[in-house]
């Protein structure tokens, strides 16, 4: 009896797995079509400099509305990477983000910098630096306005030497470099000294821990100190509460990003938000 039940369970798991594979295959096709039709969008989330409360910049976050639903980036980014669409997705988000950011500059607003998340596949493409340079020129955005965000996993790739060259070339152009989700990977310390990083972004899990009973922000505080010792700017992600914001300010964090300051917004809304801040 137990055996039969076991077998039944196995069948159920297989059916669930098969369903997942079908859904992923269909979603991959839909993503391919969406990219071809330029349907990928970029939301822009403001970052606040704590010293003066001003806008430090905006981070571009990929958005995909598929039918009546928004597909979460956690689902379609890894999908794009698995099916060879990472470069195409990265290019689409960069275009959409730069168009929105350029509109702010053209309107005479001060949007600070534009931060873009890039994947390993993009950094390994032969023409990535040229692509970025061309896109910046096309949108009349000064290279010093562009920040490239990479995660620690990018730096753990086999081809670290090539990736290092690409990052150096971007930096030579005037772009800045941020290490995203800092503290969640494995390579943290060694890579901070061997890559030309300007800023570290404290992962939101450490920001949220500030409000928890135990630890009370120990890791966030340590990462801020580490950044300071290495001469790096530190930005905390996922700031949602007054107490998190105050804690980070008190302990010398340079900037924050999170719902406390503003949510990610599609470009028109982001521009209206920035205008309201300025006036």
Token pair recorded at residue 277: 């801040």
Residue 274 binding target from Mg ion, ligand C2E, none, CB below 5 to 8 Å by type = none
Strand partners, 234: 200
Binder of ligand C2E out of 77, 163, 200, 253 (CB under 6 A): 77
Residues 188-207 as x/- pattern, contact with ligand C2E by CB under 6 A: ----------------x---
Token pair recorded at residue 93: 């988000």
Binding to ligand C2E in span 97-156, by CB under 6 A:
117-119
Considering only 16-24, 67-75, 160-168, 170-178, which stretch makes contact with ligand C2E by CB under 6 A? Answer: 67-75
Cβ proximity to Mg ion: between 117 and 166 the closer is 117
Task: List, in order, residues 6 or more apart from 3 with CB less than 8 Å away.
Answer: none
Cα–Cα distance between 214 and 219 in angstroms, integer?
A: 11
Q: Is the Cβ–Cβ distance between 111 and 104 less than 8 Å?
A: yes
**Cα angle 113, 176, 58; round to 5:** 25
Cβ proximity to ligand C2E: between 254 and 257 the closer is 257
For the chain, the first-to-last Cα distance in angstroms comes to 73
Q: Is the Cβ–Cβ distance between 193 and 231 less than 8 Å?
A: no
> Which runs of consecutive H residues, i.e. helices, occur in the chain?
2-36, 73-82, 86-106, 120-124, 128-138, 152-156, 160-173, 188-194, 204-208, 218-229, 242-250, 267-278
Cα–Cα distance between 140 and 118 in angstroms, integer?
A: 21
Binder of Mg ion out of 128, 180, 233, 253 (CB under 5 A): 180
Residue 147 binding target from Mg ion, ligand C2E, none, CB below 5 to 8 Å by type = none
Binder of ligand C2E out of 61, 102, 255, 256 (CB under 6 A): 61
Binder of Mg ion out of 117, 176, 244, 254 (CB under 5 A): 117
Q: Which residue number is nearest to ligand C2E in terms of Cβ?
A: 258
Q: Is residue 237 near ligand C2E by the rule CB under 6 A?
A: yes
Cβ proximity to ligand C2E: between 19 and 82 the closer is 82
Sites of contact with ligand C2E (CB under 6 A): 45, 61-62, 72-74, 77, 90, 93, 117-119, 180-181, 204, 237-240, 258-259, 264
Sites of contact with Mg ion (CB under 5 A): 117, 149, 180-181, 237
């Amino acid at each position: 009896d137990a055996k039969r039940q076991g077998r039944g369970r196995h069948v159920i798991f297989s059916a669930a797995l098969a369903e997942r594979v079908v859904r992923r295959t269909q979603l991959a096709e839909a993503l391919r079509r969406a990219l071809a039709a330029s349907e990928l969008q970029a939301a822009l989330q403001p970052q606040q400099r704590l010293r003066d409360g001003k806008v430090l910049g905006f981070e571009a976050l990929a958005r995909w509305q598929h039918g009546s639903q928004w597909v979460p980036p956690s689902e379609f980014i890894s999908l794009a990477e698995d099916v060879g669409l990472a470069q195409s997705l990265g290019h689409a988000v960069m275009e959409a983000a730069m168009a929105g950011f350029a509109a702010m500059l053209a309107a005479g607003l001060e949007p600070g910098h534009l931060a873009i998340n890039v994947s390993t596949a993009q950094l390994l493409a032969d023409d990535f630096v040229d692509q970025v340079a061309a896109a910046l020129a096309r949108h009349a955005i000064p290279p010093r306005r562009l920040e490239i965000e990479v995660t620690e996993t990018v730096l753990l790739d086999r081809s670290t030497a090539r990736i290092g060259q690409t990052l150096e070339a971007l930096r030579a152009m005037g772009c800045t470099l941020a290490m995203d989700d800092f503290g969640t990977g494995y390579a943290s310390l060694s890579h901070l000294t061997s890559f030309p990083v300007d800023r570290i972004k404290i992962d939101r899990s450490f920001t949220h821990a500030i409000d928890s009973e135990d630890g009370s922000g120990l890791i966030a505080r340590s990462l801020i100190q580490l950044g300071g010792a290495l001469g790096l700017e530190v930005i905390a992600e996922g700031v949602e509460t007054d107490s998190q914001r105050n804690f980070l300010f008190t302990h010398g964090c340079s900037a924050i990003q999170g719902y406390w300051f503003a949510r990610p917004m599609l470009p028109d809304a982001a521009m209206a938000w920035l205008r309201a801040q300025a006036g």
